[in-house]
Amino acid sequence: MGDDCSTDGTADIVAYYAAKHDRIIKPQFREKNLGPAQNALDILSLCKGKYIAMLEGDDFWSVEDKLQKQIDFLESNPEYSLCCHRFETYDVDNKKFVQDPLIGFFEINSEGITIDLELFFSRWLTKTLTVVFRNYVIDLEVFKRFKYFRDVHLFYHLLLTGRGFCLNFYGGLYNVHSQGVWGKRTNMERLQNSYSVLNELHLFHKNDRFLTASYQGTLKRFIQARLIDYKDSERKELFYLIVKYLKISRNWKLTLNFLINLVKN
């Protein structure tokens, strides 16, 4: 359990339960804020079990045997590196559940869905609270080169070692609200984050066509958003982003149309 200098009383709650269950709860209280990337990497490095499951913020698991189901699957299928499940999303501000956009997938695949790199970058099935993965199949040292390390980096590298599988049951709840880490961000800040994450992943995996396609789409949306309202001082950076988009695009006709529309707008 990594408490990265929280200010909402979490540390006191963790300390209380750690004192009662010191054999299974190992808290890491920070003297200074490390940030999400370093905090996550430090906690992962301390995990000694055969499998790792993560739970963040105010998300929670809703099925008692959900971990057992996932471990049973991984034990029976050694070619898979991770196993996840479906989750519910709750809009805290509006007090309502959000409709699951992936219902159609599971109507066709009643047992679950195999996740490869193509599906990983087209549908977000691997929500952090749902995933159990094999420990020791990847070297955590690899992630130290990433300034913007997130769960995307982790799951991507896991899928380079084996496939993933999403079991067809709801095993947890993901809370979304305006005061959350992601909810507080503006649309531009979210695009900036997505661009930064995929940009550095792409630097080390330029030959992955599925990653490249996802990165290209994100870069395109980021450029479009930046052009809506930019300052003269940002012209150089925008030019750099457009050149980068040109370099990774393999469809020059579509790229030319995209650039013409940018100029018109």
CATH classification at residue 125: 3.90.550.10
Tell me the C-alpha distance between 91 and 98, whole Å.
Answer: 7
Residues 168 and 196 in one domain: no
Per-residue model confidence (pLDDT) at position 32: 86
Mean pLDDT across the stretch 212-217?
94
Q: Is the pLDDT of residue 232 over 90?
A: no
Residues 161 and 199 in one domain: no
Mean pLDDT across the stretch 224-246?
79
Final residue belonging to a domain, choices 176, 197, 227: 176
Final residue belonging to a domain, choices 125, 157, 176: 176
Q: Which two tokens stand for residue 236?
A: 């150089």
Residues 209 and 244 in one domain: yes
Per-residue model confidence (pLDDT) at position 58: 80
Contact 170, 59 (CB under 8 A): no
Residues 166 and 243 in one domain: no
The residue ranking higher by pLDDT, 157 or 255, is: 157
Residues 156 and 79 in one domain: yes
Q: Is the pLDDT of residue 50 over 80?
A: yes
Residues 221 and 130 in one domain: no
Structural domain includes residue 119: yes
Q: Where is mean pLDDT largest: 31-35, 163-167, 242-246?
A: 163-167
Whole domain around residue 196: which residue ranges? 187-264
Residues 93 and 199 in one domain: no
Q: Which residue has the tokens 């149309």?
A: 257
Structural domain includes residue 10: no
Residues 56 and 147 in one domain: yes
Structural domain includes residue 199: yes
Per-residue model confidence (pLDDT) at position 215: 95
Residues 56 and 135 in one domain: yes
91-116 tens-digit pLDDT: 988 999 998 888 888 988 889 999 99
Residues 154 and 195 in one domain: no
Structural domain includes residue 86: yes
Contact 110, 160 (CB under 8 A): no
Total number of domains in the chain: 2
Residues 205 and 252 in one domain: yes
- For residues 63, 67, 73, 74, the Cα torsion angle rounded to the nearest 10 degrees is 160
Per-residue model confidence (pLDDT) at position 38: 83
Contact 42, 34 (CB under 8 A): yes
Three-class DSSP labels, 38-64: HHHHHHHHHCCCCEEECCCCCCEECCC
Per-residue model confidence (pLDDT) at position 80: 98
Q: Is the pLDDT of residue 265 over 70?
A: no
Final residue belonging to a domain, choices 148, 176, 204: 176
Residues 230 and 116 in one domain: no
Beta partners for residue 97, in sequence order: 90
Per-residue model confidence (pLDDT) at position 261: 62
Confidence of residue 214 (pLDDT cuts 50, 70, 90): very high
Beta partners for residue 173, in sequence order: 60, 88
Q: Is the pLDDT of residue 264 over 80?
A: no
Per-residue model confidence (pLDDT) at position 1: 83
Structural domain includes residue 45: no
Mean pLDDT of the chain: 88
Tell me the C-alpha distance between 37 and 180, whole Å.
Answer: 17
Structural domain includes residue 44: no
Report the phi/psi class of residue 19: left, alpha or beta, with left for phi > 0 and alpha for psi in -120 to 50: alpha
Per-residue model confidence (pLDDT) at position 206: 92
Q: Where is mean pLDDT largest: 146-160, 173-187, 236-250?
A: 146-160
Structural domain includes residue 12: no
Structural domain includes residue 29: no
51-98 tens-digit pLDDT: 999 998 789 999 999 999 999 999 999 999 999 999 999 998 899 999
For 173-201, letters b (16+ CB in 10 Å) and e give bbbeeeeeeeeeeeeeeebeebbbbbbbb
Q: Which two tokens stand for residue 17?
A: 């339960």
Per-residue model confidence (pLDDT) at position 253: 64
